[in-house]
Amino acid sequence: MTDIYEILRGQKNAEGNYQKKSVIVQGITGKYGSTHTKLMLEYGTNIVAGVTPGKGGQRFEDKIPIYETVKEAVEATGAEISIVFVPAKFFLGAAKDALESGIKLLVAIPEHVPIRDTMKAIELAKKKDAIMIGPNTPGVIVPGLIKVGIMPATPFSSGKVAVLSKSGTLLYEISNNLTSAGFGQNITIGIGGDPVNGTRMIDAFDMIKDDPELEAMVVVGEIGGDSEEILAQHIIDTGFKKPIVGYIAGRQAPKEKRMGHAGAIVMGNYGSAESKISMFAKANIPVAKRPGEVAVLLAGKMNS
């Protein structure tokens, strides 16, 4: 499996610091893309190139070179990470461009990508041995080192707890609570709110579970699908022993209604909060009743 830590931070150098990996931004000149490029630069992310068809040869903010295609950007910079901001209907084209040009980590921000397009992008990513995060994800952050996403900087601080979340705002809220309680984060990954995800809960878990610096994990799920149940079963099967705390949004949501996220819908018992919470219980994962309780439960688990 492609190692997400290797792609995002590499190995420590002689001074004990991780590397600054290069990042390409697809859709860098758009309103959303340009805003977040500035915010990522502010955070310290090493953005080396942008891609906007029709604007090749120009520069973003007089600094970052813009290319026509990801292929050209990769040839010029050697970057392995790309973040995509194009409108949903152009996503599949942008994803193909990236994956066929050697991108190893594709962070797919757009919301409203058709499921069929996502499925095709996933097939290609598998073939190329690349990781796709999203679509409809806030992205991924290794606090203090690299932010490839649209999350605000303030909730996060460097530490040893990993957070996996379907929801963006709950990721911020819960990370903020964790930070306040003294639990910095080793990595946080936005799974995304779509029915089909490039990186599923179980994939994200497998990517990070063996990191020696990792001390605990927080899983923020929501109604819809069965990725939480499958993760819980996998945790039981692998005998993972580090503390994990969960949260599930949508306990009181009406059935057969889409609650904001394309994936947040309960059909019969498929996707229900009860099903997820009971599987978490089997895996010995306490589930917080409210976001504010996550850090409290984690403190309890860490001290037991």
Which amino acids are annotated catalytic?
A: 261
> Please, which residue, 25 or 70, has the CB nearer to another protein?
25
Does position 268 interact with another protein (CB under 8 A)? The reply is: yes
Does position 282 interact with another protein (CB under 8 A)? The reply is: no
Of the listed pieces 9-17, 206-214, 221-229, 295-303, which binds another protein according to CB under 8 A?
221-229
Minimum CB separation of residue 293 from another protein in Å reads: 10
Main-chain phi, psi angles of 139, to 5 degrees: 110, -155
The rounded distance, in Å, linking the Cα atoms of 4 and 21 is 12
Q: What angle do CA 34, 38, 41 make, to 5 degrees?
A: 135
Contact 9, 21 (CB under 8 A): yes
Does position 127 interact with another protein (CB under 8 A)? The reply is: no
Does position 173 interact with another protein (CB under 8 A)? The reply is: yes
Contact 23, 46 (CB under 8 A): yes
Does position 192 interact with another protein (CB under 8 A)? The reply is: no
Contact 156, 179 (CB under 8 A): yes
The rounded distance, in Å, linking the Cα atoms of 301 and 304 is 5
Of the listed pieces 64-72, 92-100, 237-245, 286-294, which binds another protein according to CB under 8 A?
286-294
Minimum CB separation of residue 253 from another protein in Å reads: 6
> Please, which residue, 52 or 197, has the CB nearer to another protein?
197
Of the listed pieces 60-68, 209-217, 274-282, 284-292, which binds another protein according to CB under 8 A?
284-292
Does position 119 interact with another protein (CB under 8 A)? The reply is: yes
- Residue 22 DSSP SS3: strand
**Amino acid found at 273:** A
User: Could you say which of 151, 163, 245, 266 contacts another protein (CB under 8 A)?
Assistant: 151
Minimum CB separation of residue 271 from another protein in Å reads: 9
Minimum CB separation of residue 102 from another protein in Å reads: 23
- For residue 188, give the DSSP letter: E
Tell me: cis bond preceding 87? Omega within 30 of 0 counts: no
Of the listed pieces 4-12, 49-57, 73-81, 195-203, which binds another protein according to CB under 8 A?
195-203
The rounded distance, in Å, linking the Cα atoms of 86 and 112 is 11
The token duo for 165 is: 């979340």
Strands 216-222 and 158-165: parallel
The token duo for 166 is: 């379907």
> Please, which residue, 64 or 202, has the CB nearer to another protein?
202
Sequence-ordered alpha helix ranges (H) in 128-197: 168-180
Does position 96 interact with another protein (CB under 8 A)? The reply is: no
Point out which residues bind another protein (CB under 8 A).
Answer: 32, 35-36, 39, 88-89, 111-116, 119-120, 122, 150-152, 154-155, 165-173, 176, 193-196, 200, 202, 220, 222-227, 230, 247, 249-264, 267-270, 289-292
